[in-house]
Each structure stands twice: as C-alpha cells, then as structure tokens.
C-alpha cells in the first residue's frame, strides 16, 4: 500500500465549529412528520430510487426531565424515499413498551445503560435492573421485514411504509424473550453456504465473568439458518464486528466492569466500564464454516492479541494471502461516560479522536500488526455493499473538518486505499454530519458488480446534515466519485433531525 498523505484542506489553527451550534442537534424532536420535500437545491438524480432508513435517539428528555446520554434516547426512525427525482420524508418513534409507558406517565420510569436515572436519587434506582429496550441504534430491511435494532435485546418490527411499530421480532421463536441481537449486522452479498445468495450475519453478547458470543446467520427470507454460541474469558463490551467469507471477527476491547455502583443506583452500567490501557485488545476470530476449524481446536475459534485500543466501529474485513485485513476506527482509550457530566457540554479537545487503522491478522503465527491510515478524527465508516467481506478499494466515513485534533463530525471523507488519495466534503462551520451511506448507481443489478472493474465508487454518498444556522437538517447527496465537489443536491427538511446513529439504503421505494 502506498503511503498516505494527510489531506491539507482544513486549517488547524481556528475551531471549525462552536459548541453552541453543535448543541442544537441534541434537541428533542417530539413531532412526527409526513411530507414531500419541496425545498431543494440542485437536482435529485432521477436514477436514485429507493429508501434511506435511519435510526437514532429522538428524545433527550422525557417531558422536560433530561436523559443523561444520547445513547439512552428513545429510537426514532427517519425514512427518506427517493422516486423519479422526488423525495418524501416521514419519521416515527418506535413504540417500545418503555416509550409508551414514559410518554403516558410524563416522566422517566427506567434507568438507562448510559447513566439516565429515575428521579429520586440513588435510593430510587438501587437494585433496579429493569432496562428499557429503546430500539435506537440501527434500522435494517431484511427478509421483507423492517427492524429497529438495539444491541441488548430483540429487534422491533415496523411497517416499512407507515413506520408503525408491529411488535418485537423473535424470528419464529429462535430468539427468546429479551434475548440480545446486536445492532451491527453485516450483509454478505454472496454467502457460500447459501449457494451464493445474500445472507445476514449478526452476533449477540451475553457478558459476565466469561462472555457468551452467539453468531446468527439469516437467509434472504429472514429465517435464522445458523446459530452457534462461543465462550470467551472475561467481560466483553463489543458493539460491532466484521465478516469475511470464512470468518467472523470481534474485537474484545480491554475494559473492566465493576457492577457495584450500578447495583447501588449510583451510576449507569455503561459508566461502570473502565478502559484498561495496559491490557491488549483481544481479537476473536470465529469460523463461519465448521469444516475450517483447525485440528485439535474443537470450535475453531482463535484469539489473537493486538495493541491496546478501543473500537466501536469497523469498516470492513477481507482475506488476503494468509492474512485477514480489517479497517476499523480505533481510539487510544474508551471515551468514558462521566457520571456528573452533561453530554451537551462535551469538551472535544479533552477527548482522544477516533482514527482509521488497518489491522493485519496472521492466523498461522497469531501475530497482529496495524498501520494508521487516517489520523484525522473520524467515525461511521462504510464501503460498497458488494464489497462486504471482500477487498474494498474505497471507504467513506464521517470526519472532522480539521486534519488533526478531536472535534464533532462536520465532513464526509472518502479514502482510496489503493492510491492513498483522500477527498473531503465539509459542512463546517455551521453544519454537522451524521453517518454517510454509500449507494451504488447500479444497486438493483448489484449482483453483477463483482464482475466489473473500476466502478466501485460509481454512486452517491448521502445522509443527514444538521444546519445550525436554520436549526433544521438537510439530506445531502454527493457524487461518490468526487467528494471534493459541491453536493449534487441538498434537500432542506422543515425541521431538524437529532444526531443519529445508523441506517441503511434499500432498493424498495416505500412511500
Ligand atoms: Fe454503532
């Protein structure tokens, strides 16, 4: 791989944002909308047809009682449908049991994993382990079902047209009541075990003194066709994973969990996790096919050790020669949740940035090496959907405007892993971006993509951008071939969408 040149477009001497502007994206959106978007700069490409679903916390307070961390906010789905050069917007809260109860009561009734407490101090919270399935992390469309995901419990099923909540999804009873199903499934576009048909691979974590990792594989009808459990030593906090055609790979970040302050009602469970800088990151490699298990190693699982670091999100993984290559956003330490702090007052300069690293796993000698690809602060990476588990050339992600330091995400960046070229579109100083999605131009015929060359970036990068000047959000569409160019189209919504987490684009036009 060639050496990477830092992209020198942004100045590092002046801040590209103000905290007051950034805070506007963390205001609750209580209203639910349903309208055709008619305030548009540029033109929506007529060949861009399909639906972008996004999920994220919509409420940061319950009737004026503030929640402690955005990750504790109730899930709200946004749907942007593109059809013949027009676009339609709709948003709905996921009607989880907790959402319905709390809206009815007009107050916080549940503790949140990331520190939200019921009113009344520690006495009111002690020994209450009843958490709310907030369905706020991702939204996928698979096997004809739209599912809102939250990693600690089962998905909620929604109507893809109306976004009405239809109930919890347990996949014909394969999941038990409240069984976890992570919020970061990977879509294998051509699964060898399913005769080359697409397949969804996901995992779940059951933490404890040792941790149970369960791997699920679903065929394209939405049925769980494989489910296998593995045990690894120690506590694990694993949010995301990656797949190759033969393996699932999970990073067990070096953390320790002290449950006492949580049990005593003084902190949320997430605030009891402490990063262990002197411990290695453990890289867990699980075969997807039973016949590749090594002799004498019953389930074929291998655990390798890498330098200490914290990973929330991976971009992709693939097998090359005798190695597994993984691109991930890695932090020097876990950005810890402090019990007394208000997330709205985050001091970005005091936190370490996420940076893009490439990891190389050698399964023969159990060695892991890594190289820094992008030192600019970044998060929310993605690749072409046909490249999941395969060698990708291009990667897209949210990034800081400045090329060093830590900051809110204000830009979308494209990295060419072959040439080292980097491109950046920035919404600074008044704009703040959420996760970008890459949509291939030929998505409906994507299965033929593997036979083509040179067009991996033929498509669009799109997503939501909060415009603090007008306190509203835009849907921004960029030409993925050249992120340095101005947007192809900027669709002004009538309101803001709070900073979201994850979502997916699907070919189906749901209006
Ligand atoms: Fe995530």
Q: What is the three-state SS of 204-264?
A: EEECCCEEEEEEEEECCCCCEEEEEEEEEECCCCCCCCEECCCEEEEEECCEEECCHHHHC
Spell out the residues 6+ positions from residue 114 whose beta carbon is closer than 8 angstroms to its own. 68, 69, 71, 72, 268, 270, 271, 337
Query: C-alpha 494: how far from its chain's center?
Result: 25
> Given a cut of 70, is residue 4 above it in pLDDT?
no
Centroid of ligand 1 to alpha carbon of 376 (angstroms): 19
The sign of the dihedral angle between the CA atoms of 250, 505, 71, 434 is positive
Task: Report helix, strand or coil for 269.
Answer: helix
CA of 160 from ligand 1 middle (Å) equals: 22
Residue 184 confidence (pLDDT) above 60: yes
At 317, is the pLDDT very low, low, confident or very high (cuts 50, 70, 90)?
A: very high
Instruction: Look at residue 153 and tell me whether its pLDDT is greater than 60.
Output: yes
| pLDDT (0 to 100) of residue 265 | 83
Mean pLDDT of 327-339: 83
Ligand 1 centre distance from Cα of residue 213 (Å): 17
- Position 258 pLDDT exceeds 80: yes
314 alpha carbon to ligand 1 midpoint, in Å?
9
Q: Which residues are annotated as a binding site?
A: 184, 239, 313, 502
Question: pLDDT-based confidence at 446, cuts 50/70/90?
Answer: very low
Does residue 121 sit in helix, strand or coil?
helix
How far does the centroid of ligand 1 lie from the alpha carbon of residue 258, in Å?
23
Between 259 and 216, the more confident residue is: 216
Is the pLDDT reported for residue 124 higher than 90? Answer: no
Task: Tell whether the model's pLDDT for residue 11 goes beyond 50.
Answer: no
How far is ligand 1, taken at its centre, from the CA of residue 38, in Å? 31
Ligand 1 centroid to Cα of residue 435, in Å, is 10
**Ligand 1: distance of its center to the CA of 501 in Å?**
6
Q: What average pLDDT does the segment 480-498 reach? A: 98
Query: pLDDT class for 296, splitting at 50, 70, 90?
Result: low
- Is the pLDDT at 438 greater than 80? The verdict is yes
pLDDT at residue 40 above 60?
yes
Q: What average pLDDT is seen over the chain?
A: 92
In the reported structure, the alpha carbon of residue 442 is separated from the centroid of ligand 1 by a whole-number distance in angstroms of 27
How far away, in angstroms, is 239 Cα from ligand 1 center?
6
Whole-number Å distance, alpha carbon 502 to ligand 1 midpoint, is 6
* Cα 174 to ligand 1 centre (Å): 24
Whole-number Å distance, alpha carbon 152 to ligand 1 midpoint, is 13
Instruction: With 0.75 as the threshold, say if the pTM is over it.
Output: yes
Helix intervals (H) in 112-162: 121-125
pLDDT digits (tens, 9 = 90+) for 55-98: 999 999 999 999 989 999 999 999 999 999 999 999 999 999 99
Residue positions in the annotated binding site for Fe cation? 184, 239, 313, 502
- Tell me what pLDDT residue 78 has: 98
| CA of residue 302 to ligand 1 center, whole Å | 24
CA of 47 to the centre of ligand 1 (A): 29
Rounded distance from Cα 296 to ligand 1 centre (Å): 35
Whether residue 470 is predicted with pLDDT greater than 90 in this model: the reply is: yes
Ligand 1 centre distance from Cα of residue 35 (Å): 29
Res 208: pLDDT: 85
At 293, is the pLDDT very low, low, confident or very high (cuts 50, 70, 90)? low
Output the pLDDT for position 334: 83
**151 CA from centroid of ligand 1 (Å):** 9
Say how many Å lie between the CA of residue 133 and the centre of ligand 1: 16
As a whole number of angstroms, the distance between CA 256 and CA 105 comes to: 36
pLDDT for position 343: 87
Token duo for residue 472: 């509203």
- Ligand 1 centroid to 493 CA: how many Å? 25
Which residue's entry shows tokens 């941790």? 211
Q: How far is the CA of 380 from the centre of ligand 1 (A)?
A: 8
Cα 9 to ligand 1 centroid, rounded to whole Å: 28
- Residue 138 Cα to ligand 1 midpoint, Å, equals 8
Burial class (CB in 10 A: 0-12, 13-18, 19+), 274: middle
pLDDT score recorded for residue 129: 83
Distance (Å) from CA 356 to ligand 1 centroid: 15
pLDDT band at 273 (very low <50, low <70, confident <90, very high): confident
Phi, psi of 282 (to 5 degrees): -95, 130
Give the percent of the chain with pLDDT over 70: 93
Please give the distance, rounded to the nearest whole angstrom, from the Cα atom of residue 235 to the centre of ligand 1.
Answer: 19
The pLDDT of residue 192: 94
Task: Say what the pLDDT of residue 291 is.
Answer: 62
Backbone angles phi, psi at 341, to 5 degrees: -90, 150
Of 452, 433, 439, 450, which is closest to residue 479 (Cα–Cα)?
Answer: 439
pLDDT band per the 50, 70, 90 thresholds, residue 1: very low
Query: Which one has a higher pLDDT value, 465 or 115?
Result: 465
Q: Is the pLDDT of residue 448 over 80?
A: no
């Amino acid at each position: 791989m060639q050496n990477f040149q830092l992209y020198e477009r942004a100045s590092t001497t002046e801040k590209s944002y103000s905290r007051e502007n950034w805070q506007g994206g963390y205001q609750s959106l209580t209203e639910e909308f349903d309208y055709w978007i008619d305030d548009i700069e540029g033109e929506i490409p007529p060949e861009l047809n399909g639906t972008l679903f996004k999920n994220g916390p919509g409420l940061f307070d319950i009737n004026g009682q503030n929640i402690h961390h955005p990750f504790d906010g109730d899930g709200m789905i946004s749907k942007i449908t593109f059809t013949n050069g027009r676009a339609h917007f709709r948003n709905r809260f996921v009607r989880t049991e907790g959402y319905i109860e709390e809206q009815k009561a007009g107050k916080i009734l549940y503790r949140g994993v990331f520190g939200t407490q019921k009113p009344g101090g520690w006495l009111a919270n002690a020994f209450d382990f009843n958490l709310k399935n907030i369905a706020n992390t991702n939204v996928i469309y698979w096997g004809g079902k739209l599912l809102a995901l939250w990693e600690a419990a089962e998905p909620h099923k929604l109507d893809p047209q109306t976004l009405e909540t239809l109930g919890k999804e347990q996949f014909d009873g394969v999941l038990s009541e409240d069984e976890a199903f992570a919020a970061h499934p990977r879509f294998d576009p051509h699964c060898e075990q399913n005769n080359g048909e697409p397949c969804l691979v996901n995992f779940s974590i059951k933490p404890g003194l040792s941790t149970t990792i369960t791997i699920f594989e679903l065929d394209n009808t939405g049925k769980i066709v494989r489910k296998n459990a593995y045990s690894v030593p120690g506590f694990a906090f694993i949010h995301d994973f990656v797949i190759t055609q033969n393996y699932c790979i999970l990073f067990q970040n070096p953390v320790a969990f002290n449950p006492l302050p949580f049990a005593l009602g003084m902190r949320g469970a997430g605030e009891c996790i402490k990063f262990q800088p002197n411990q290695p990151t453990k890289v867990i490699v699980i075969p997807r096919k039973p016949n590749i298990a090594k002799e004498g190693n019953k389930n074929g699982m291998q655990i390798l050790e890498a330098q200490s670091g914290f990973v929330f999100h991976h971009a992709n993984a693939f097998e090359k020669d005798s190695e597994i290559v993984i691109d991930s956003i890695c932090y020097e330490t876990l950005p810890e949740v402090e019990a007394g702090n208000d997330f709205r007052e985050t001091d970005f300069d005091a936190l370490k940035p996420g940076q893009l690293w490439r990891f190389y796993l050698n399964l023969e000698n159990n060695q892991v090496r890594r190289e820094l690809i992008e030192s600019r602060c970044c998060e929310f990476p993605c690749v072409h959907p046909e490249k999941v588990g395969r060698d990708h050339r291009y990667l897209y992600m949210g990034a800081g405007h400045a090329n060093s330091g830590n900051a809110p995400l204000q830009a979308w960046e494209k990295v060419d892993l072959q040439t080292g070229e980097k491109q950046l579109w920035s919404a600074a100083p008044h704009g703040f971006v959420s996760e970008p999605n890459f949509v291939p131009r030929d998505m409906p015929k994507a299965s033929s993509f593997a036979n083509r060359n040179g067009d991996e970036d033929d498509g669009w990068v799109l997503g939501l951008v909060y415009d603090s000047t007008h306190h509203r959000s835009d849907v921004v569409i960029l030409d993925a071939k050249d992120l340095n160019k101005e947007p192809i189209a900027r669709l002004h919504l009538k309101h803001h969408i709070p900073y979201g987490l994850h979502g997916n684009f699907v070919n189906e036009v749901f209006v």
